[in-house]
């Protein structure tokens, strides 16, 4: 799915129009909100119109439309202002970028290990599960230093779209064992590049460069069966 927030990641307030409406939900002509996916929580925020304001409580995709779920049953039509919670979006951008850095290092140092699960949390933590049979947990824990080195280097990120067949042919571009980001209507997939470090398919929101994140700590490493290791990270020194 090609989202407005992919092309305009710093637009957090947008004057737009209601394209469809039902009780408790609306579709917007354009929306600055990220609806969640790939382990990233959906944006939070509000929709304002001449008659009031409603909190956006979630999102649903149906028949190609992105429905914004609201905490009101009010009739909403015409022009509205959609406003994203800036602090929450920034936290998700930081976590998502940092998980890409962790993912890149594990992929490089553990024989192309794939991701088996990822989830970001609103408390500034995230966990990633990797298929790394027999991995030494101390080696994983030692990645904290290299992650923070990459943050301090303020490495830029690029975002491009490539045809799905090219993405599937490039080793390591689709890094998850179970799922890939949905393609755009013209059959392309979004690729996030940390320059000189990593390229992988992803539909989430990210920083413009790694230096936008505070330092990261590796909080815990759990053994999840014979093959999987769960690495928990947190923002802040």
Residue 15: count other Cβ atoms within 10 Å of its Cβ.
10
Whether residue 57 is predicted with pLDDT greater than 90 in this model: the reply is yes
pLDDT above 70: percentage of residues in the chain: 98
pTM recorded for the entire structure: 0.94
What mean pLDDT comes out for the span 128-147? 92
Whether residue 212 is predicted with pLDDT greater than 80 in this model: the reply is yes
What mean pLDDT comes out for the span 196-222? 95
Mean pLDDT, the chain, whole residue set: 93
Domain 89-235 top-level CATH class: alpha beta
| Residue ranges per structural domain of the chain | 4-84, 89-235
What is the model's pLDDT at position 183?
84
What is the model's pLDDT at position 225?
77
What is the model's pLDDT at position 236?
87
What mean pLDDT comes out for the span 149-153? 98
What mean pLDDT comes out for the span 41-57? 95
What is the model's pLDDT at position 177?
63
Q: Check: CATH 3.30.870.10 for 4-84?
A: no
What is the model's pLDDT at position 178?
63
**pLDDT, tens digit, for every residue of 172-203?**
888 876 667 788 888 899 999 999 999 999 99
Give the chain as a DSSP string: ---HHHH-TT--EEEEEEEEEETTEEEESS------BTTBPPP-EEEEETTEEEEEEEEEEETTEEEEEES------SEEEEEE-HHHHHHHHHHHHHHHHHHHHHHHHTTSPPEEEEEE-TTSEEEEEEE-TT--HHHHHTTHHHHHHHHHTT-BEEEEEEEHHHHHHSTTTS-BSS--PPPPTTSEEEEEEETTTEEEE--S---SBGGGSPPEEEEEEEEETTTEEEEEEEE--
**pLDDT, tens digit, for every residue of 121-136?**
999 999 999 998 877 8
What is the model's pLDDT at position 134?
76
Task: DSSP letter for 211, please.
Answer: G
Whether residue 96 is predicted with pLDDT greater than 70 in this model: the reply is yes
Same fold, 4-84 and 89-235: no
């Amino acid at each position: 799915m090609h989202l407005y927030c992919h092309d305009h990641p710093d637009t957090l307030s947008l004057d737009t129009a209601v394209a469809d409406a039902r009780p408790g939900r609306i579709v917007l002509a354009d929306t600055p909100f990220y609806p969640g996916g790939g382990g990233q929580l959906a944006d939070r925020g509000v929709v304002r119109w001449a008659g009031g304001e409603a909190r956006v409580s979630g999102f649903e995709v149906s028949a190609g439309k992105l429905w914004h779920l609201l905490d009101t049953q009010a009739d909403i039509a015409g022009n509205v202002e959609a406003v994203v919670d800036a602090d929450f979006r920034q936290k998700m951008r930081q976590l998502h970028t940092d998980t890409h850095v962790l993912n890149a290092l594990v992929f490089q140092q553990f024989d192309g290990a794939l991701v088996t699960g990822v989830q970001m949390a609103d408390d500034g933590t995230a966990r990633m599960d990797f298929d790394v049979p027999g991995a030494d947990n101390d080696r994983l824990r030692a990645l904290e230093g290299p992650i923070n080195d990459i943050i301090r280097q303020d490495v830029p990120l690029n975002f491009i779209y490539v045809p799905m067949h090219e993405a599937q042919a490039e080793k390591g571009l689709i890094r998850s064992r179970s799922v890939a980001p949905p393609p755009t209507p013209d059959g392309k997939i979004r690729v996030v590049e940390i320059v000189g470090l990593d390229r992988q398919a992803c539909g989430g929101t990210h920083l413009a460069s790694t230096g936008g994140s505070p330092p990261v700590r590796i909080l815990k490493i759990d053994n999840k069966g014979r093959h999987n290791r769960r690495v928990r990270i947190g923002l802040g020194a």
